[in-house]
Homo-oligomer: A and B are copies of this chain.
Amino acid sequence: MTQPTETNLQIRLAARPKGLPKDSDFQFTEEPIPQPGEGQVLVRNLFLSLDPAMRGWMNEGRSYVPPIGIGEVMRGLTVGEVVESRHPDLKPGDVVSSVLGWQRYAVARAKDLNRIPPGIAPTVALGPLGMTGLTAYFGLLDVGQLKAGETVLVSGAAGAVGSIVGQIAKVHDCRAVGIAGTDDKCRWLTEELGFDAAINYRTAKDLHEEIRGACPKGVDVYFDNVGGEILDTALRNLAFHARVVICGAISQYNATEPPKGPANYLALLVQRARMEGFVVLDYTARFPEAQGQLARWLAEGKLHYREDVVEGLENAPKALLRFFDGSNRGKLMVRV
């Protein structure tokens, strides 16, 4: 049994950020490595997933999960290795995914850990086969009720979720159109992932016209990761009986004032359309089904993904900011 000699580095929420998180909103602490009790397991985190939603968890107020408390270890999805086990189902060396947060080590009950089968890379378990892929899968197919031949528009298209959304659309013989923030990202979408078109919203002269040109029959499913003006413009381009899937609103997470709200929401009436929010955690019972399907598409070469790995847990706070200046490239995570 490896007996770790280091201490447990942890990153805690020190203050609720106003706007973009800054250094003083985080607190670094060191503690002795915890000891597992009966039925528990000690895990050494290998990778920490960074997700835009984390910014929301740092805010006060009601959301789909409770806010992170001041002084608490930052919440986060992790993949780690079992170091010591006092439960018969797990043994040292097993790789497990869970929500162990921004720290090097954690003790957890075996039932809160999902063992990752050998042969699946830890980072893939955070990406296309993890919450990222699952969010795309259930959002597009279940909430979005995608049908073959439809047009899918996705914002944040070069992000971890958005890029999978477009590729799942292509698997279903749909037209996939992405919105992203650099020409480079747009090229990646069309040249490597098979999107039919990609729009750079930062350089678009008239986003509405560009969406209209790329979606000549209108948008049947709009998968929204960003909110704000892009959501509002997408609403102007809905097809009859369209579905708007609200997955996130990255443009709003650092807002210090209430968001403007989608002024064109009456398009829902004109087009008899629907706008619906979802949280992937509601689909836990169906994760195996989805992971099986996602794994098949991966094996068949139908899903491509890009990883953006930041070295060192201590760099997590700075890395989180990359969602908000658009500099992340693919699934963002930290090698702990």
Contact check, B261 vs A265: say whether CB atoms are below 8 A apart. yes
Counting CB contacts under 8 A, is A246 at the interface? yes
Measured in the bound complex, the distance between the Cα atoms of B248 and A248 in whole Å is 26
- Note all chain B residues with C-beta closer than 8 A to A262: 261-262, 265
A274 within 8 A of B: yes
**Among candidates B263, B276, B282, residue contacting A273 with C-beta atoms closer than 8 Å:** B276
Q: Within A274-311, which residues are at the interface with B (CB < 8 Å)?
A: 274-279, 282
Q: A64 and B276 in contact (CB under 8 A), knowing A260-B260, A262-B261?
A: no
Question: Chain B residues near A266 (CB, 8 Å)?
Answer: 227, 246, 249, 252, 259, 277
Q: Which of the residues B259, B264, B274 comes within 8 Å of A275, measured between beta carbons?
A: B274
The docked-state distance in angstroms from the alpha carbon of A263 to that of B249 is 12
Of listed A259, A265, A268, A279, residue having the most chain B CB within 10 A: A265
State the Cβ distance, A58 to closest chain B Cβ, in Å. Answer: 15
Copies, count: 2
Query: Which residues of chain B are near A271, meaning CB under 8 Å?
Result: 277
Kindly provide the distance from the CB of A129 to the nearest chain B CB, expressed in whole angstroms: 23
Interface residues on chain A, number (Cβ under 8 Å):
33
A135 to chain B, nearest CB (A): 12
Nearest B residue (CB) for A271: B277
A252 to B252, CA, bound (A): 24
Contact of A269 among B232, B265, B277 (CB under 8 A): B277
Please, which residues of chain B bring their CB within 8 A of the CB of A268?
A: 246, 275-277
Interface residues of A in 15-56 (CB under 8 A from B): none
Q: How distant is A324 from chain B, measured CB to nearest CB, in Å? A: 17
Q: Which residues of B contact A276 (CB under 8 A)?
A: 268, 272-275
In the assembled complex, 7 residue pairs joining A and B whose CB atoms fall closer than 8 Å, in A order, are: A64-B272, A227-B266, A265-B265, A268-B276, A269-B277, A272-B279, A273-B276
6 extra interface residue pairs, beta carbon distance < 8 Å, beyond A260-B261, A274-B275, A275-B275: A62-B270, A64-B269, A252-B266, A259-B266, A260-B263, A272-B278
